[in-house]
Amino acid sequence: MASTPVGVDNNIHDVKLHIKKGRKRAPFFRYIRINLPRTTKAIALLVIAALGACSLALALDGISPFIGGTIALYVIATVSFGFCVVGAFVHKDIWGIGMVPALMALVFYIASLFGTAPFVWNGYGIFTAATFNSLLFAAIAYLVIRWALSYGMLVAYPDDQGFDD
C-alpha cells in the first residue's frame, strides 16, 4: 500500500509540479517555506524604509558622487517612502513595485563607483561611508526578499496561503 503525505490529495494537487524530468526530488529551496505573511510584509517595508532613509541621509549630507547624484538620492528617497506609505495601507500584492527603488539604489551605487563614491579613503567620514554601504545592503536585501517571494519560499500579505501569523 503506497502512503501519501497527510493533507495532500494527489487527485487535486500535482505533487511532482516542481520536480524536473529525470530527477527524483525538487530543488533544495522548494523545501523551505516560511509562511508569515504579515511579518514578511513588515520586514519588506522596513527594508525599503531603510533604503529610503539611507538615501535621504546621503542627500542631506550633500553627497554627489556624479553629476545629478543628489537629485537621484532625493528621487530614491521619495519613491521609497511613497512605496512604504502605499504598502502600509493598500491590501494588494505590490511587491514587484518595490523593485523600483531597490534597483534605483543599486544603479546609483554602481554609478557612484565610477565617480567619487563616499568611502573613508576618499575623505568622507565613517558615518557617511557606512550609510552609503547600507544603501547597497538594503537594496540587495529587498532583491533577495523579492526573489524568495517569487520562488515561493516566503509568503507576504495579502497572500496568506490559508494561514495567519
Domain residue limits at 110: 34-151
Considering the entire predicted model, what is its pTM? 0.82
What is the per-residue pLDDT for 108? 97
Residue 93 in domain: yes
Secondary structure letter of residue 19 according to DSSP: P
Residues of the chain with confidence (pLDDT) below 70: 1-20, 23-27, 29-30, 160-165
Residue 56 in domain: yes
Q: What's the number of domains the chain is made of?
A: 1
Secondary structure letter of residue 20 according to DSSP: P
Residue 76 in domain: yes
Secondary structure letter of residue 34 according to DSSP: B
Residue 108 in domain: yes
